[in-house]
């Protein structure tokens, strides 16, 4: 099958899951960040828990097309901080603003347009940022198991079980 069509179908399922699962909901995103409504974090823990096991098993069979991002600590940490502020201010992330825009939410459309501007600003600042934040402290595309030198099974299985038990047993909503 054509890769463009595969992309469209996988994206279609992704968008449908985010919409139906309430991931485009402002009150759920902010509720999670205010540590009151655990819906989004439980959804993410379940997804990562299942994904970790799934990808581990695929990789075991030599069937995984992995894509490990490089660990340049300065840029990843500062980028994470800037991203986190944008997340709290808009109530969306880059994927959910696209789905929110599809729902017809005008605030999500503004976030998409802001995102296009933010990505363009980054593109023009890239040469400077690369020298200061991307090239230094770059540990490359490394996984935790490579870093500490153990077999992936000893990490993937406990990590997956930890996330699933957080989602199903540990995390609780707290409303006053």
Q: Which of 60, 62, 115, 158 binds another protein (CB under 8 A)?
A: 115
Closest distance to another protein from the beta carbon of 153 (Å): 11
Told to check if 112 binds another protein by CB under 8 A, we report yes
Write out 98-119 in H/E/C secondary structure.
HHHHHHCCHHHHHHHHHHHHHH
Start-to-end CA span in the chain (Å): 52
Separation CA 176–CA 174 (nearest Å): 7
Told to check if 64 binds another protein by CB under 8 A, we report yes
Told to check if 87 binds another protein by CB under 8 A, we report yes
Q: List the interface residues with another protein, window 119-148 (CB under 8 A).
A: 119-124, 126-127, 129, 133-134, 139, 141-145, 147
Told to check if 27 binds another protein by CB under 8 A, we report yes
Which of these, 80, 66, 74, lies nearest to 143 by C-alpha position? 66
Closest distance to another protein from the beta carbon of 3 (Å): 5
Closest distance to another protein from the beta carbon of 23 (Å): 7
Closest distance to another protein from the beta carbon of 117 (Å): 5
Residue 52 and residue 156 in contact, taking contact as beta carbons nearer than 8 Å: yes
Residue 40 and residue 29 in contact, taking contact as beta carbons nearer than 8 Å: yes
């Amino acid at each position: 099958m054509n890769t463009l069509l595969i992309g469209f179908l996988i994206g279609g399922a992704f968008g449908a899951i985010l919409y139906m699962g309430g991931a485009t909901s402002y009150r759920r995103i902010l509720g999670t960040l205010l540590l009151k409504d655990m819906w989004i974090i439980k959804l993410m823990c379940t997804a990562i828990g299942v994904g970790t096991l799934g990808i581990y098993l695929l990789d075991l069979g030599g069937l995984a097309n992995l894509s490990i991002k490089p660990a340049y600590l300065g840029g990843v940490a500062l980028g994470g901080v800037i991203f986190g502020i944008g997340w709290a201010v808009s109530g969306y992330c880059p994927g959910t603003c696209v789905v929110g825009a599809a729902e017809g939410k005008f605030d999500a459309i503004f976030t998409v347009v802001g995102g296009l501007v933010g990505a363009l600003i980054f593109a023009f600042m890239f040469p400077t940022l690369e020298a200061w934040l991307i090239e230094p402290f770059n540990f490359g595309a490394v996984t935790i198991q490579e870093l500490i030198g153990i077999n992936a099974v000893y990490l993937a299985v406990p990590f997956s079980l930890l996330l699933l038990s957080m989602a199903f047993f540990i995390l609780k909503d707290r409303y006053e």
